[in-house]
Amino acid sequence: MPISFEMSETTRLAQDYYRAMATDHLRPISRKYDTQEHDLPTEWVDWYWNHGRKGGPEDVGPSDGFIQVCVQTEELCWGDAGLYLRTPFAGLGGAAVGAAGTKEQKKRFLSVFHGDGGPAWGAMAITEPSAGSDSAAIQTTATRDGDDWILNGTKIFCTAGEGASQQEGGFVVAWATVDPTAGRGGIKAFVVPAGTPGMTLVGLENKLGIRASDTATLQFDDCRVPTANLLGSAEVKKRDAKASSGDKGFKGAMATFDASRPIVAAMAVGVGRAALDYVLEELDRQGVRIRYDAPPAELTALERDVMEMEAELQAARLLTWRAASMMNRGRPNSLEASMAKAKAGLAVTRITQKAVELLGPPGWSKKLLVEKWMRDAKINDIYEGTQQINQLIVARRILDYPSSMLR
């Protein structure tokens, strides 16, 4: 298979467009919303909704669709990862509808993000007080009542949960079990439109990093949604039944991660690049040149550190683009998506810590954003499957073990 590392012209234009957006609209308010954690960044939300989402290059070819999403994500997260997550877009909820929804559902729930109404958000609520990595253990229930499903349960750490549950046009994709005796076969995803009675915003987290992003606790009390809002089929596969290829229940919901993990990896690459760029600029200001052509025995510790940071970043980016390009070609990419996510989570954590270290006291000071990037980095090892869980997935896929093994 020929391998091209060249960006298409459209993707390169998109990169320029989002880089300018990050520079002009995100960086200037980065510290403000890191400090004012729960305030809506109106200057960004309004500008993006009215101008930013409409101005990019439109001509996205089939081969660069997901790559372009990754490039856009890297650029915006280079600007600010928390504000990126606060951007009015379909987000993880949209990825779930895209992965498991019908044509009609995609039109009904996603067209708002291209429409002329007010800003809207999408979110996905899986995690519960007693179910995180083991998403098959969720306890939120969905009970059939005529043409409706009734949801009951609590969801925590829901990114964009405030906007998605409160702002008209938005929606939360909530995972619930329709049959607790069926294990993962009973788990289904339901689209709950913003403002649906019975869905309540209970609270917002105070976080270490990505503080501009809203991370919500949502309560579902007899929350009624029509059957037309179920993603995939209502059929329940019992524990020992083999899922058919047409089953879009739990498997369909899990497919969301194949699309979203490369995007999270791209977020990590963006934050890592922000830190590395700053270090390189600072070295340049101080007249320090990295001697890429020096023999290994003559390299300084600083030169080795910088080269390692650059290599880590590039490796993470290439894995990310590989996973994305497989999505473009409709090829199964669970292995590659988890590889990219695991690599990028580690890389950004190391790069940002090293940046703080190399810069000395200014790196630790709030005068610079470098300490913030270090705080923004670690989340990439936690959400969308922790570092450990993604490593398990990689091992299982390589060894061809079922999910019941290597737990």
Ligand X SMILES: Cc1cc2nc3c(=O)[nH]c(=O)nc-3n(C[C@H](O)[C@H](O)[C@H](O)COP(=O)(O)OP(=O)(O)OC[C@H]3O[C@@H](n4cnc5c(N)ncnc54)[C@H](O)[C@@H]3O)c2cc1C
Does 263 engage in binding with ligand X (CB under 6 A)? no
Does 133 engage in binding with ligand X (CB under 6 A)? yes
Does 389 engage in binding with ligand X (CB under 6 A)? yes
Of 26-34, 101-109, 138-146, 385-393, the segment contacting ligand X by CB under 6 A is 385-393
Does 342 engage in binding with ligand X (CB under 6 A)? no
* Shortest separation between residue 92's beta carbon and ligand X, angstroms: 6
Of 102-110, 154-162, 217-225, 288-296, the segment contacting ligand X by CB under 6 A is 154-162
Distance CA 19, CA 270 (A): 11
With CB under 6 A as the contact rule, the residue among 132, 232, 262, 363 that binds ligand X is 132
Reported as type and span, the H/E element at residue 204 is strand 199-204
Of residues 200-239, which lie at the interface with ligand X (CB under 6 A)? Answer: 207, 215
With CB under 6 A as the contact rule, the residue among 121, 157, 278, 321 that binds ligand X is 157
Distance CA 267, CA 344 (A): 9
Does 159 engage in binding with ligand X (CB under 6 A)? yes
Of 137-145, 238-246, 249-257, 375-383, the segment contacting ligand X by CB under 6 A is 375-383
Does 126 engage in binding with ligand X (CB under 6 A)? yes
Does 253 engage in binding with ligand X (CB under 6 A)? no
With CB under 6 A as the contact rule, the residue among 63, 200, 233, 386 that binds ligand X is 386
List of E strands, 21-128? 122-125
Does 383 engage in binding with ligand X (CB under 6 A)? yes
- Decide: 208 and 159 in contact? Cβ < 8 Å: no
Q: Which residue's CB atom is positioned nearest to ligand X?
A: 132
* Shortest separation between residue 121's beta carbon and ligand X, angstroms: 11
* Shortest separation between residue 72's beta carbon and ligand X, angstroms: 19
Of 124-132, 136-144, 301-309, 340-348, the segment contacting ligand X by CB under 6 A is 124-132
* Shortest separation between residue 208's beta carbon and ligand X, angstroms: 9
Distance CA 338, CA 332 (A): 12
What is the separation of C-alpha 146 from the centre of its chain, rounded to a whole number of angstroms? 35
Distance CA 97, CA 105 (A): 7
Rg (CA), the chain: 21
* Binding residues for ligand X, total number by CB under 6 A: 21
Q: Any idea which residues carry the catalytic annotation?
A: 384
List of E strands, 268-309? none
Nearest CB to ligand X, comparing residues 124 and 358 = 124
Does 382 engage in binding with ligand X (CB under 6 A)? yes
Reported as type and span, the H/E element at residue 190 is strand 187-193
Instruction: Judge residue 65's burial from the number of C-beta atoms within 10 Å of its C-beta, 0-12 exposed, 13-18 middle, 19 or more buried.
Output: middle
Distance CA 47, CA 25 (A): 8
Does 379 engage in binding with ligand X (CB under 6 A)? yes
Does 285 engage in binding with ligand X (CB under 6 A)? no
In eight-state DSSP terms, residue 214 is: -
Where do runs of H (alpha helix) occur along 86-181? 91-100, 103-110, 161-166
Binding-site ranges for ligand X (CB under 6 A): 92, 123-127, 132-133, 157-159, 207, 215, 379, 382-383, 386, 388-389, 392, 407
